[in-house]
Structure 1
Amino acid sequence: VWDFIKNNGFFGMIIPRRYGGLEFSAHLHSAVVTKLSSRSVVAAVTVMVPNSLGPGELLLHYGTEKQKDHYLPRLASGQDIPCFALTEPGAGSDAANGQSRGIVCKGMWDNEEIIGIRLTFNKRYITLAPVAGIVGLAFRLEDPDHMLGEVEDIGITCALLPRETPGMIIGSRHDPMGVPFQNGPISGEDVFVPLDYIIGGTDGAGNGWRMLMESLAAGRSISLPSQSLGAAELATRATSAYASVREQFGMPIAKFEGIRERLARIAGHTYFMNAARRLAFGAVDAGEKPSVISAIVKAYLTEGSRVCINDAMDIHAGAAICRGPSNIYTRPFNAIPVGITVEGANILTRSLIIFGQGVIRCHPFVLKEMEAAKTGDVRSFDQAFFGHIGHISKNIIRALLLGLSNGGIASSPVNGFEARYYRGINRFSAAFALISDVALGTLGDALKRKEYLSGRLSDAFSWMFLATAALKHFYDNGRPESERAMLDWTCTHAINEIETALLGVLANLPNRFASRVTKILTFPFGSRYSPLTDSQIDAVAEAITTNIEARNAVTAEIFIPGPDDPGLGALEHVFSRTLAAGPARNKLDQARREGKLAEDNVIAMTNDAVKEGILSEAEKTLIEEVEQLREAIIQVSDFDQVTYDQLK
């Protein structure tokens, strides 16, 4: 597998062809990771990490020509496997405050005294570190003797260290929840390297944090969202099949409402996750660096994956608990905490980053006010401030009118059933804008410490994005009837999440007078939206268990193995044969209910049904085939003690 990855250029998907890479678009990059993750989390992680934030990405944007010419062909071919060392024991989410240090000094290099950097670092959780040939290292650079200039604390800097760098300790492995992708620590004490190891040369000194922040959005928009979607689509595909073929109390468990609720939740999440992924990589392919969107899709799609896998585990029950070749959930389930934690822990992404970063970047006046106040430019500040006042006034009128009409007077680009969702998002967009300004105005700088409020505002903003992505996805696909149930579920769920989040903000704003006035303006009649109905849930469950077009549409990106595969492939085969036998089985069940056949096991009843002329011999044979396949698919693995002791 490693040779296949290297020989086919999958380590160089983001590297231009002139350096030997594949130069894939973000769309292609995402498609590869999604398909891989639906089959093997380890393979997906191994391929996606070199193509995310790391040496390749940083060299492309900031490396010197000499560095590009040397490293990029080696990275593209897999000759050098890269890793990027950022996280430390004392600096996880707070990566900017790491303790790794580099001191500019003189030292010996190739028997010659040069000006270089003496590094001391202790990194952990570094994916691909145990096998990496080139290490990207983030550290704080200091120049106490002014060898490079007047500045002593130069700042965060990124450098490339070959594996064989003297003094660097590398090769040990962590064990991330038993999912055996390569991951481990890197450390070094007084490791001396030349200045030209800095990415971008000496001009890149102190620019490491800017490099990381500018480059983070692209990788975070693609890698983990794509991996999460692969797991979600796997859950949708496998669970819809399993629930259709697994029987209890004489009927498929897909007919039980408790199961149908979970099936709908899995498929609904999968639908909006794919829509959000497509909108995010579309932004990257358009040349954007969508920092806020990347944070949303990283946090909410990895959380969505957790929902899908957990629900799938509940439906498969014992079959998902017992490890073995037929259990397709062991690795994805164990890998869930990895995606939740890396590239910005979801807890902090939701409570600090999404709204805290988005409100400044996206607001038409706040950043201008901050910059003018910082520089003391009174005229610019006045322009921004009074512009802000006008903006709030317009939002008050818009939010009130849309609140009174429950979005009825808002515009919609379509006239179909989904028009109400476009109007609902427009209505809540106005409410969100006004509530955000009220929160900023009444709390000021203290808002960044009000994580409960910031988290709720992040929820509202994120679910507006996710619903918008789903509507765009549906529209771009030609508004197919087969996707209608999934869109209906997604938008109803999203709008309820938005309304709940905004009402939660208003209920907890410290300034109660401002809260009451704002609630009158934005929710003049209180809560107006109903949660998901039973019929909406039923429609999704029915679609993914009986409608092949709908099922294929929501799982189009994954790998589906052949019938000899003991996991998904075998499930797919049994499911297809079960559908084929459906009409015959319905006749058999109808005859039993009408008393034409005595209660017995299915095989015995088919024999009687042929004698009574209820079934043909061909129908009997088909039902018996399905029963044999069904019996085989519900079995779980068991091991003798010697084999069990060797399991990993």
Structure 2
Amino acid sequence: MSIALPFLALLVVGAVAAYHRLRLVVWAAATLTALIACLLAGANITATIIATVLAALVAVPLLVPQIRLPFITKPLLGFYTKILPPLSETERVALEAGTVGWEGQLFSGKPDWNVLFDQPKPELRADEQAFLDGPVEELCRMTNDWQITHVNADLTPELWEYVKKNKFFGMIVPKEYGGLGFTALGNHKVIQKLATVSTVLSSTVGVPNSLGPAELLMHYGTKEQKDYYLPRLADGREVPCFGLTGPWAGSDATSIPDYGIVTMGDWNGARVVGVKLTFDKRYITLAPVATLIGLAFRMYDPDGLIGDRKDIGITLALVPRDTDSIDIGRRHFPLNSPFQNGPIHGREVFIPLSQLIGGEAYAGKGWQMLVECLSIGRSITLPSTASGGAKFGAVITGAYARIRKQFGLSVGRFEGVEEALARIGGKAYAISALSEAAAAAVSRGELPAVPSTIAKYHCTEMAREVATDVMDIHGGKGIILGPKNYAGRNWQALPIMITVEGANIMTRSLMIFGQGAILCHPWVLKEMKAAGLPDPDERLTEFDRNLFGHIGFAFSNAVRSWWYGFTSARIGTAPGDAYTRRYYRKLNRYSAALAVMADTSMLLLGGKLKFKESLSGRLGDVLSQLYIASAMLKRYEDQGRPASDQPLLAWAIHDSVNKIETAFSAALRNFPVRPISYLLWLLIFPWGRRAQAPSDRLGHKVASLLMSPNEARDRLAVGTFITPCANNPAGRINSYLPKVILAEPVERKFLKALKNSDIEALDFAAQLDEGVREGWITADERKQLEELREMTIDTISVDDFDTEELRSAGYRREQYDSRAAA
């Protein structure tokens, strides 16, 4: 023991220093003190000297700049510059466009939870709440989704007039320009509620308030452009669209072949310098009805009319619909969710330079402009739509599962249905928290590049899973389309959300970790910038500071990851109450493990990492689930730690943790450098994988919450349109739930008596008559059962049609014309 003691002291002191991220000089002093103590305690002198020499061999070169800089840092800088993957201009702009918020803490391996708790609770302004309670509620009452999706294939004229008159298109436009000037959170809440009545309506309102002419003008427009266009966009005189995607440039937006040639042309009777545009765009929302087209194209100046550069770069412009040579108006038909969406074509369409967004000064800066605004739009419209659909689906499906009976039992009581209800409730809770967190980040003035991609991808993916479970529970009620169906159109619309604003496959495999690994890492971007400094002395000094900060960071995370894994995250300081503290410890553990995996992957794979999309996607899953779990815990704290929400929170946290370990496991099993993967496995899973999916017992609690009136269910329903009215069959079903529950004991009593009797009546009304005569039920209870039967029929009934009603107007015209010709 006397021989091993100095080496054990060296190891323990180093581990403690790494765990707590003590400075190198503190580690050296603590190590020396520990070795002296070992010597005084009777440790072997030779062993103590060897341990001291080993410590000195590490400490002295690193603590003495005259040794460290020329002999360690300088060679490493040369090696680093050789392996550093070149950043394209596109990648550089994307990295510089976003800001780093809480996600940076998750990449640190040691999250400072106070940073999260210090964020203000997301709350609406008084005018935003009044708008939700007034115009939004009224718009929802006016909306008949069957009329929109089947009869009109569009909003009705009354809805179009209402949204324009009440400035739904101008929610983000500042009040000084006649808009509503809402925060991102207010925008989120409006879109979320509209999505519960019609995804066509929510997308129609969402697009003008997302990435498009209004937002771009607010950030980059000239004074003249803002003064003219923003008031017209706010009150609906102008309906905007934005043309980015084309047949040859979908997710790879920087490769757009659409071009504009700088030339002279005629505009409003004058000869001016402008651009002749040739473009081919598709999938453009609101294009068929747009009066103002935002357009992205690559700009060329072959004759040098405005400068020395021939290839100016991606540029953005505003093109009025009535400009000559534009082909616009035809529609795509997206999966029976017929929001206005279609192609735009143009050949040699001339516009003056004054129509470039931001004027000539912003020519060639289009990609930077798009990237800076994209994180804002991506944070709002699709996550909000997904949140509205998921929350609505959870509340209404819970009511339906309680009211609908099979074999004399509510279908929600069957364990198979309980599993689906639990998934719906847990994921709706997660989606709601994540979408609100993304909107709140924008409201705080952040440009959440990484959180926006997390929110867009995971909200839409989870919403798709929720919609599938909703359809499974509803069965025939969900698949028979008609005015009484509130689930089918949402299920049809979900794949649309998966594809837009960056296809989800690309978002997961390239963007989340691809951006996060550099943008959120506390040292990588600093090292890259230091390596590119022009002054040699400054370059060496800055690189030295960041390199050894990074090395200490890596050692710390390796120790923290192993310790949390070894103790199953049961030991360590963490915030929260007695119920949630265990969750914070788990997130601390996985944060350290993510940092270890990220550093190892970047070190060993370098520039090749961007092509390892499966690995990138799995590490992105880890980062995403850490962010989602954090958002849920923040929501739980903001709402005062309600005990009734604990089953929802617990289910969603267990689901996230299980997904984190599944992603780590898959990444390690497929890591390209096999020996390293074994070492990483020992660091991250010293006892093997321990996380499990949410238990059946927990799932039962979540399902029960959805099927009974309670505070947790009410909180989940906040922001959805569940007002019972003629156009809202789901709202009526939800309103039946308390009455149905009150009638259940009477129903059980009556059915039990009926089963044990010799009454031959087959008609329900006659059976009730017999029940009153026999004294099984009172007259008041009979009325209660009659009302229960009416509510149940309204809940489970579906629509049917005459064949001619289902035939398209075009088919009917063809038949009429053929008969007339005959």
Query: 1:501 is aligned with what amino acid?
Result: A
**3-state SS of 2:707 partner:** helix
Query: 1:129 is aligned with what amino acid?
Result: A
1:567 aligned onto 2:725: no
Which residue of 257, 273, 282 maps to 2:415? 257
Q: Which residue of 2 aligns with 1:102?
A: 260
Q: Which residue of 2 aligns with 1:461?
A: 623
Instruction: Report the Cα offset of residue 597 of structure 1.
Output: 8.7
Distance 1:274 1:61 in 2: 29
1:413-492 alignment, distance < 5 Å: 413-492=575-654
**3-state SS of 1:546 partner:** coil
**3-state SS of 1:526 partner:** coil
Gaps of 5+ in 2: 1-158, 811-822
Query: 1:82 is aligned with what amino acid?
Result: P
What is the TM-score with the length of structure 2 in the denominator?
0.76
What is the TM-score with the length of structure 1 in the denominator?
0.96
Native 8 Å contact 1:588 1:615 kept in 2: yes
Distance 2:256 2:348 in 1: 17
Q: Which residue of 2 aligns with 1:60?
A: 218
Q: How many residues align?
A: 647
Distance 1:350 1:160 in 2: 32
**3-state SS of 1:49 partner:** helix
Query: 2:629 is aligned with what amino acid?
Result: A
Instruction: Report the Cα offset of residue 617 of structure 1.
Output: 2.4
Q: Which residue of 1 aligns with 2:675?
A: 513
- The root-mean-square deviation of aligned C-alpha atoms, in Å, is 1.9
Native 8 Å contact 2:471 2:488 kept in 1: no
1:237-636 alignment, distance < 5 Å: 237-375=395-533, 377-565=539-727, 567-588=729-750, 609-611=771-773, 613-636=775-798
| CA deviation map 1:229-262 (0-9, x unaligned) | 1111221122111111111111110111111111
| CA deviation map 1:434-478 (0-9, x unaligned) | 111111111111111111111111111111111111111111111
Instruction: Report the Cα offset of residue 112 of structure 1.
Output: 3.2
Distance 1:428 1:574 in 2: 44
Distance 1:606 1:154 in 2: 82
Which residue of 316, 327, 331 maps to 1:158? 316
| CA deviation map 1:310-343 (0-9, x unaligned) | 1111111111111111011232122111111000
1:112-127 alignment, distance < 5 Å: 112-127=270-285
Instruction: Report the Cα offset of residue 480 of structure 1.
Output: 1.2
Query: 1:301 is aligned with what amino acid?
Result: C
Q: Which residue of 1 aligns with 2:326?
A: 168
Gaps of 5+ in 1: none
Distance 2:725 2:232 in 1: 39
Distance 2:278 2:808 in 1: 39
**3-state SS of 2:346 partner:** strand
Instruction: Report the Cα offset of residue 187 of structure 1.
Output: 1.2
Native 8 Å contact 2:179 2:234 kept in 1: yes
Distance 1:477 1:570 in 2: 28
Q: Which residue of 1 aligns with 2:229?
A: 71
| CA deviation map 1:403-431 (0-9, x unaligned) | 11111123322223222111111111111
Q: Which residue of 1 aligns with 2:343?
A: 185
Instruction: Report the Cα offset of residue 165 of structure 1.
Output: 1.2
1:214 aligned onto 2:372: yes
Which residue of 297, 303, 325 maps to 1:139? 297
Q: Which moved more, 1:105-114 or 1:131-140?
A: 105-114
1:42 aligned onto 2:204: no
Q: Which moved more, 1:76-85 or 1:148-157?
A: 148-157
Q: Which moved more, 1:379-388 or 1:257-266?
A: 379-388
Structure having the higher Rg? 2
Native 8 Å contact 1:232 1:309 kept in 2: yes
| Bigger RCO (CA 8 Å, 6+ sep) | 2
**3-state SS of 1:355 partner:** helix
| CA deviation map 1:166-192 (0-9, x unaligned) | 112111111111212111111111111
Query: 2:695 is aligned with what amino acid?
Result: T
| CA deviation map 1:501-549 (0-9, x unaligned) | 1111111111111111111112111112222111000000001102332
Query: 2:708 is aligned with what amino acid?
Result: T
Query: 1:400 is aligned with what amino acid?
Result: W
Q: Which moved more, 1:402-411 or 1:562-571?
A: 562-571
Instruction: Report the Cα offset of residue 587 of structure 1.
Output: 3.6
Native 8 Å contact 2:399 2:708 kept in 1: no
Distance 2:571 2:768 in 1: 60
**3-state SS of 1:123 partner:** strand
